[in-house]
Amino acid sequence: MLNVVRAELRKLRRPTLFLGTMGAVLFFSGLFSALLYLLIDSPQGNADRGQVISREVLALASGGVQGFASVGGFLGIIALCVFAAQTAQEYTYGTLRNLLVRQPSRMKILAGKLISMMIFALVMIILSAIVSIATSVILAPTVDVSTELWFSSAGIEYIYTTFVNVAISVVGFGIIGMVLGLLLRSPISAISFGVLWLLIVENLLVAVKSSTQSWLPGSQLTIIASGGSFDVTYSHALAVGGAYVALGALVASILFVRRDVAN
Amino acid sequence: MPNTAISVSDLSKKYDDRLAVSHINFEVPLGTVCGFVGPNGSGKTTTMRMLLGLITPTTGQGHILGEPIEHPEKYLSRVGAMIEGPAFYPALSGHENLMVLARLGGFPVERVQILLEKVGLGERGKSKYKTYSLGMKQRLGIAAALLPDPKLLMLDEPTNGLDPEGIQEVRALLRDLANDGTTVFVSSHLLSELEIISDHIVMLRKGEIVFAGPIGELMTKQQPTIIAKSLEHAELAKIVELAEKSGHHAVIRNDSVHILAPMDWAPILNKAAFEAGITLAQLAPQLPNLEETFFEMTGDK
């Protein structure tokens, strides 16, 4: 298993993928956090779907991680794309047969891939946390938001909790990407389907019938990153999102183990 | 310790209604070079995939280095393979691609550079795979197959895309490996290549075995051709007549007569031609080569 992880990490650290992804994480983490402060007085709101996060809310112990929590869903989309591409490309390049000749245990290949991509995702999340919090610390004083409570013991606890929530959410999105990669066996198809579903189909369904937000997979994972929402509790999102991920992973694993490798 | 590197019995693979491989049986002795011959779509790659545990046989059994093919984990660490051409990550260099496979298989990473040198990619190892020519990709595939220092090497069309010099190098490499005790199971459409390096031949056509055994046995089974040339072109028809009178099939090709007859009939023809007033300019018995034998046995042209 360790050999698979080491082999996969070598692929993941190639500069175009690693630096490209980390660059996107850096940019969007900074942007999401900056907008919270730059648009604080905007009538259109400074958060998702026109919501307003006020100075008072941002000054709470949880204020320092507001930006980080809000970028969680976006990190999830990035993870979905990376996990899907890294899995499906083995079929399009025909490299899966090389992997299976060198490591015939398909479950070990799958588990090793997952662990290595989780390590990649973890690096992504740590970078995002640092950039988001740093941006918040820099911009808060410019709009009269107090940062006094952010690094109190309660504030530190919020940082840890949010980090764990974002990590669960990002890995959940990643696993969905991996499942799509295994099922569709093409990076373009897997990424297109995943992004289209999460960014367009789910948003349309929620706009048409708001109660669907409690049951759609992408919504649950985004809510987990935020630590719960007004409409959906954290534990509900964790249970439903976890069920989607587990079911998808089970089906994809069975297919991967049993399917002939004929390309 | 088994004395066969590969043995298959009643092995079949069916896709929906199509039988890609049909109840084949053959053995490849240890330490030999075995050519795996068959036209496109004859089931060669499917057979190789079954032997490597990539696809599940519909029926039958197989053993690789004495281990059943249902448990590829028991033998794949001693097997090197390149199936259906080289397949690597385009954004990684040749060196990095081999490092991925070396790490995955738990092989010493020092072998990577040694193998790149061995296949003539020492200087291009750091270049990205996507910049390689077809011949270079093929060489990298062979290097990857050699990573485990294999007891059995399975190569699918390893000389595809190689120039004549490269083909000669691969031929020498495979022969050297066999001399060192590695069993080589190699498919190629260049039958002349296989004829030079193979000790054994497995011939496949439409998923069925046409011949499996030592190459010498295959060749001696074939009737030789006697090639006769006369000084006068007009006398070729008379030579055909002489051959057919003795019950041997003969045809004129270019400026010579090709007669299907045993080698010891050549002096009889020489005498008969002399008595008929024909002066033979050439009289040479010739065994068919592998390509001719293949077409003869499979009925393909």
* Shared domain check, B28 and B167: yes
The shortest CB-CB distance from A103 to any of B84, B105, B147 is to B105
- Residue B186, beta-bridge partner list: B35, B155
Q: What is the pLDDT of residue A73?
A: 84
Q: Identify the residue with better confidence: B254 or A258.
A: A258
Give the gap in angstroms from C-alpha B205 to the nearest C-alpha of chain A.
20
Mean predicted confidence (pLDDT) in B126-147: 90
Q: What is the pLDDT of residue B163?
A: 83
CA-based Rg of chain A, rounded to a whole angstrom? Answer: 19
Mean predicted confidence (pLDDT) in B61-90: 92
The shortest CB-CB distance from B101 to any of A102, A260, A261 is to A102
Q: What is the pLDDT of residue B300?
A: 57
* Shared domain check, B81 and B68: yes
Q: What is the pLDDT of residue A145?
A: 84
Could you give the dihedral angle defined by the CA atoms of residues A247, A250, A251 and A256, in that order, rounded to the nearest 10 degrees? 150
Average pLDDT, chain B: 87
* Shared domain check, B119 and B244: no
Q: Which of A23-27, A229-233, A242-246 has the lowest mean pLDDT?
A: A229-233
Residues in contact with A128: Cβ distance below 8 Å, sequence separation at least 6, in sequence order: A25, A26, A29, A68, A71, A75, A166
Q: Within 10 A of B147 (CB to CB), how many other CB atoms are there?
A: 20
* Shared domain check, B121 and B205: yes
Q: What is the CATH number of the domain that holds B105?
A: 3.40.50.300
Residue that is last in its domain, among B162, B194, B219: B219
The interface residues of chain A toward chain B in range 188-247, judged by CB-CB distance below 8 A, are none
Residues of the domain holding B177: 4-219
Residue B148: list chain A partners with CB under 8 A: 102
Vertex B77 angle, CA B75 and B79, to 5°:
75
Separation of alpha carbons B152 and B115, rounded Å = 17
**With pLDDT > 90 as the criterion, what percentage of chain B qualifies?**
38
Q: What is the pLDDT of residue B225?
A: 82
Contact B33, B10 (CB under 8 A): no
Partner-chain contact B79 A101, CB within 8 Å: yes
Q: What are phi and psi of B226, to 5 degrees?
A: -100, 125
Q: Which residue has the tokens 């003539």?
A: B120
Residue that is last in its domain, among B219, B235, B255: B219
Q: Could you give the maximum distance between any two Cα atoms of chain A, in Å?
A: 62
Helix (H/G/I), strand (E/B), else coil: A44: coil
- The answer to whether residue B62 scores a pLDDT higher than 90 is yes
Mean predicted confidence (pLDDT) in A60-89: 90
Mean predicted confidence (pLDDT) in A131-138: 93
Residue A18: list chain B partners with CB under 8 A: none
* Shared domain check, B163 and B287: no
- The answer to whether residue B286 scores a pLDDT higher than 80 is no
Kindly list the strands in the beta sheet with B225-230, ordered across the sheet, starting from the edge strand earlier in the chain: B250-253, B256-260, B225-230, B280-286
Residue A98: list chain B partners with CB under 8 A: 87-88, 101, 144
Q: Identify the residue with better confidence: B226 or A84.
A: A84
Q: What is the pLDDT of residue A237?
A: 94
Boundaries of every domain in chain A: 2-258
- Any chain B CB within 8 A of the CB of A260? yes
Separation of alpha carbons A260 and A10, rounded Å = 26
Q: How confident is the model at residue B175 (pLDDT cuts 50, 70, 90)?
A: confident
Contact A84, A178 (CB under 8 A): yes
Q: Which residue has the tokens 């899995």?
A: A87
Q: Identify the residue with better confidence: B17 or B46.
A: B46
The interface residues of chain A toward chain B in range 87-116, judged by CB-CB distance below 8 A, are 89, 93-95, 97-105
**With pLDDT > 90 as the criterion, what percentage of chain A qualifies?**
57
- Any chain B CB within 8 A of the CB of A20? no
- Any chain A CB within 8 A of the CB of B67? no
Mean predicted confidence (pLDDT) in B137-160: 90
Tell me the two tokens of residue A26.
């850096």
* Shared domain check, B71 and B31: yes
Q: What is the pLDDT of residue A84?
A: 95
Give the gap in angstroms from C-alpha B139 to the nearest C-alpha of chain A.
15
* Shared domain check, B262 and B131: no
Partner-chain contact B83 A97, CB within 8 Å: yes
Vertex B23 angle, CA B19 and B25, to 5°:
140
Mean predicted confidence (pLDDT) in B244-268: 85
What residue of B is the nearest CA neighbor of A112?
A: B104
Partner-chain contact B55 A105, CB within 8 Å: no
ipTM of the complex model: 0.84
- The answer to whether residue B185 scores a pLDDT higher than 60 is yes
* Shared domain check, B173 and B261: no
Partner-chain contact A7 B101, CB within 8 Å: yes
Could you give the dihedral angle defined by the CA atoms of residues A232, A234, A236 and A242, in that order, rounded to the nearest 10 degrees? 130
Q: Which of A194, A114, A130, A135 is nearest to A166 (CA)?
A: A130
- The answer to whether residue B193 scores a pLDDT higher than 80 is no
Mean predicted confidence (pLDDT) in B25-39: 91
- The model's pTM is 0.82
Partner-chain contact B89 A95, CB within 8 Å: yes
- Any chain A CB within 8 A of the CB of B123? no
Q: How confident is the model at residue B176 (pLDDT cuts 50, 70, 90)?
A: confident
Q: What is the pLDDT of residue B89?
A: 94
Partner-chain contact A10 B103, CB within 8 Å: yes
Residue that is last in its domain, among B219, B243, B277: B219
For B98-114, the three-class secondary structure string (H helix, E strand, C coil) is HHHHHHHHCCCCHHHHH
Q: Which of A97, A35, A71 is nearest to A222 (CA)?
A: A71
Q: How confident is the model at residue A229 (pLDDT cuts 50, 70, 90)?
A: confident
Partner-chain contact A98 B90, CB within 8 Å: no
- The answer to whether residue B177 scores a pLDDT higher than 70 is yes
For B115-137, the three-class secondary structure string (H helix, E strand, C coil) is HHHHCCCCCCCCCEHHHCCHHHH
Contact A82, A117 (CB under 8 A): yes
Burial readout B18-38 (b: 16 or more C-beta within 10 A, e: otherwise): ebbbbbbebbbbbbbbbbbbb
Residues in contact with B115: Cβ distance below 8 Å, sequence separation at least 6, in sequence order: B98, B143, B146, B147
Is the C-alpha dihedral spanning B212, B218, B221, B226 positive or negative? positive
* Shared domain check, B129 and B198: yes
Q: Give the number of beta-carbon pairs within 8 Å between A and B.
A: 77
What letter represents residue A210's amino acid?
A: S
* Shared domain check, B164 and B137: yes
The shortest CB-CB distance from A7 to any of B49, B88, B103 is to B103
Give the gap in angstroms from C-alpha A96 to the nearest C-alpha of chain B.
9
The shortest CB-CB distance from A261 to any of B55, B76, B104 is to B55
- Any chain A CB within 8 A of the CB of B72? yes
Q: How confident is the model at residue A184 (pLDDT cuts 50, 70, 90)?
A: very high
The shortest CB-CB distance from A3 to any of B90, B92, B104 is to B104
Q: What is the CATH number of the domain that holds B258?
A: 3.30.70.790
Query: Which pairing describes strands B183-187 and B33-37: parallel, antiparallel, or unpaired?
Result: parallel
Separation of alpha carbons A74 and A54, rounded Å = 22
Residues in contact with B82: Cβ distance below 8 Å, sequence separation at least 6, in sequence order: B141, B142, B144, B145, B154, B155, B156, B158
- The answer to whether residue A206 scores a pLDDT higher than 60 is yes
DSSP code per residue over B237-281: HHHHHHHHHTT--EEEETTEEEEE--GGGHHHHHHHHHHTTPPEE
Tens of pLDDT, residue by residue over A12-67, are 988 889 999 999 999 999 998 998 888 888 777 777 666 778 788 888 888 888 88
